[in-house]
Chains A and B, each alone.
Chain A
């Protein structure tokens, strides 16, 4: 069975400081993993994806994530937060045939001036 756990429901950082949003997954096969971002009253937008190629994945807006099989983790990081990064972030794992998607409960990122 597949599942995703986002370890923090809320994260607050100061502008210019690093961001770490944590995600652990459970999967019975080699997973595909995604991070999505949602700004208020908007749909979800893909930030980055891991599909069994390089374990360090770079995404849009300076975000990256590292797939660690031994830790079953896929944490999202950014070296320096910007005010525009304030949003909700979702970690997602998909089934082997990409027909089902398992969402984490989301992490709301607050960026303080």
Chain B
């Protein structure tokens, strides 16, 4: 089974702190994604990556950056956390072109910024 692992399920950080959210997938997928999920707003794409060192902005990239140095790992970085970044963050991966498009999700990381 494909497994997408997010390093932290729950985090509490202070305003201004730098936050790293890590995501690892074990199926050699080309595509990886970071979403944030907020009540009433559904899932919104922050960034995605279709190859190592490649990234594209999603719908809400402001205040976030990403890193993909290895194919299996996709990190989301909050350079200076703010209270409006309190949210559930979901990482996902997919095979990409040649696959059937299915997204595989991690369990999510719930971030609280005080």
| Residue ranges of A at the interface with B (Cβ–Cβ < 8 Å) | 32, 34, 36, 41-46, 49, 51, 90, 92, 94, 97-101, 103-106
Contact = CB atoms under 8 A, between A and B. Distances in A.
B18 to A, nearest CB: 25
Contacts of A94: 101
Interface residues of B, number: 27
24 contacts: A34-B103, A36-B105, A41-B110, A42-B107, A43-B4, A43-B106, A43-B107, A43-B108, A44-B92, A45-B105, A49-B102, A51-B101, A92-B103, A97-B97, A98-B94, A98-B97, A98-B99, A99-B96, A99-B97, A100-B48, A101-B33, A104-B42, A105-B41, A106-B42
Nearest to A93: B101
User: Which 3 pairs show the lowest CB-CB distances between chains A and B?
Assistant: A43-B105, A98-B101, A94-B101
Given A45-B105, A98-B97, 10 more contacts: A41-B108, A43-B106, A43-B107, A46-B103, A46-B104, A99-B50, A100-B45, A100-B48, A103-B42, A106-B42
Nearest to B110: A41
Interface string B30-44: 010100000011110
